[in-house]
Amino acid sequence: MKQMEEKILREGEVLPGDILKVGSFLNQNIDTEFLGQMAREIARLFENERVTKILTIEASGIAIAAAAGMSMGVPVLFAKKHRTSNVDGSIYSSVVHSFTHNEDYNVVVSSDYLNANDRVLLVDDFLASGNALRGLIDLCDQAGATLVGMAVAVEKCFSGAGDEFRAQGIHVESLALIESMSEDGIVFRS
Amino acid sequence: MKQMEEKILREGEVLPGDILKVGSFLNQNIDTEFLGQMAREIARLFENERVTKILTIEASGIAIAAAAGMSMGVPVLFAKKHRTSNVDGSIYSSVVHSFTHNEDYNVVVSSDYLNANDRVLLVDDFLASGNALRGLIDLCDQAGATLVGMAVAVEKCFSGAGDEFRAQGIHVESLALIESMSEDGIVFRS
């Protein structure tokens, strides 16, 4: 998505530790007009997949998932990062390792909201290590739901997880694919 | 908002500890068609306030804030609950006590994204103790921004915080106002 690449070049900032700071428009201060554009592009990319549900993970995936859900006319389920008092009944749960915070956490959804009839599109802001998305795939498997693909705003191709998912036959769409990045510049996959 | 009251009566569940479970449509599994309705209603209620920015807090406020921001054509900033590695530079921070988890946490936004020219609408899913919203007001004060009001999906009137904010002259709009609730039923403010 050309506009995403332009936006990253204009507003993004590469920080030490392979961090791409896009807080000015994507995952802290959200440019809602651009959010609508991203959502419509995701809806277009998966229009033939008969998606019944979008699954994301708190917190920074929620805005793009909600917008995509509005564009596609499907509900959006977000996995929580720990069990809270207002999720009762039975749950699906998977352990995820966060490189950012160097800790393990549980991703949890209520089994009330995900089932074997669902055709699930995973949506998140970033695809890097892929660990959070692997956790969401595990939740889909536990529910017996069909995974139809994943849509992310920004893929760090150099982390390898996106191509690993593709090699497994998963339909992966990234609105920007970063082949390499440093303080000197960002190279997108062509 | 009549549709919100109907939705709560149809799908909500009152659990022990004054918990209203609305995960089926509001804060875990999001009904995106209804989300659009809520967003348009919030936009209507604050259409004369010249809002420049919506401020919310992760995680369950993000979907409704993002939808409202899309309806109003303004950016959405969400405060994070702890300082993370991809927020650098100077920050505004406030301590909030969570009754749900019985712990204190910091709400944090980058000072890059909130300033004295902003006219801020606070948006969240629930207004109960008001502690999270007080934290967001504190962030606005630190930035010198103008608080134009707050919009929430569900207010637990019996907690008192909403009326306390109104008594301070804050423009508070709640899409459903719950006067009392128990396993026997829910009474809305008329």
pLDDT by residue for chain A (190 residues), tens digit each? 999 999 999 999 999 988 999 999 998 999 999 999 999 999 999 999 999 999 999 999 999 999 999 999 999 999 998 755 455 558 999 999 887 778 888 999 999 999 999 999 999 999 999 999 999 999 999 999 999 999 999 999 999 999 999 999 999 999 999 999 998 999 999 8
Q: 3-class DSSP state for residue B75?
A: coil
Tokens of A172: 């992966």
Q: How many domains does chain B have?
A: 1
Mean pLDDT of chain B: 94
Query: Contact, A55 vs A109, CB < 8 A?
Result: yes
Inter-chain CB proximity B35 and A66 less than 8 Å: yes
- In chain A, residues with a C-beta closer than 8 Å to the C-beta of B30 are 66, 69, 75-78
- B100 — contact with chain A (CB < 8 Å)? yes
Angstrom CA distances, B77 to A142, B27, B67, B158, B188, stand at 34, 18, 12, 29, 30
d(CA A166, CA A173): 10
Whole-structure pTM value: 0.94
Note the pLDDT of residue B89: 57
Closest CA to B115 of B138, B142, B137: B142
Domain with residue A48: its CATH number is 3.40.50.2020
Determine the straight-line distance between the first and last CA of chain A, rounded to whole angstroms: 11
Note the pLDDT of residue B88: 54
Note the pLDDT of residue B84: 52
Note the pLDDT of residue A88: 54
In a domain, residue B87? The reply is: no
Phi-psi region of A46 (alpha: psi -120 to 50; beta: other; left: phi over 0): alpha
- List, for residues A64-87, the tens digit of each pLDDT value: 999 999 999 999 999 998 755 455
- A82 — contact with chain B (CB < 8 Å)? no
Cβ within 8 Å of A, B 105-144: 109-110, 112-113
Note the pLDDT of residue A85: 47
Tell me the backbone φ, ψ of residue B83, rounded to 5 degrees.
-70, 125
Nearest-CB residue to B23 (from A63, A70, A87): A87
Domain of residue B17, residue span:
2-78+116-183
- In chain B, residues with a C-beta closer than 8 Å to the C-beta of A100 are 84-86
Query: Contact, B179 vs B157, CB < 8 A?
Result: yes
With the C-alpha atoms ordered B53, B56, B58, B62, is the resulting torsion angle positive or negative? negative
Inter-chain CB proximity B76 and A21 less than 8 Å: no
Tokens of A5: 């690449």
Tell me the backbone φ, ψ of residue A186, rounded to 5 degrees.
-125, 130
Residues of chain B falling short of pLDDT 70: 83-89
- B88 — contact with chain A (CB < 8 Å)? yes
In a domain, residue B104? The reply is: no
- List, for residues B49-104, the tens digit of each pLDDT value: 999 999 999 999 999 999 999 999 999 999 998 755 455 558 999 999 887 778 88
Angstrom CA distances, B69 to A28, A36, B159, stand at 13, 10, 27
ipTM confidence score: 0.94
In Å, how far is B77's CA from the nearest CA of chain A? Answer: 4
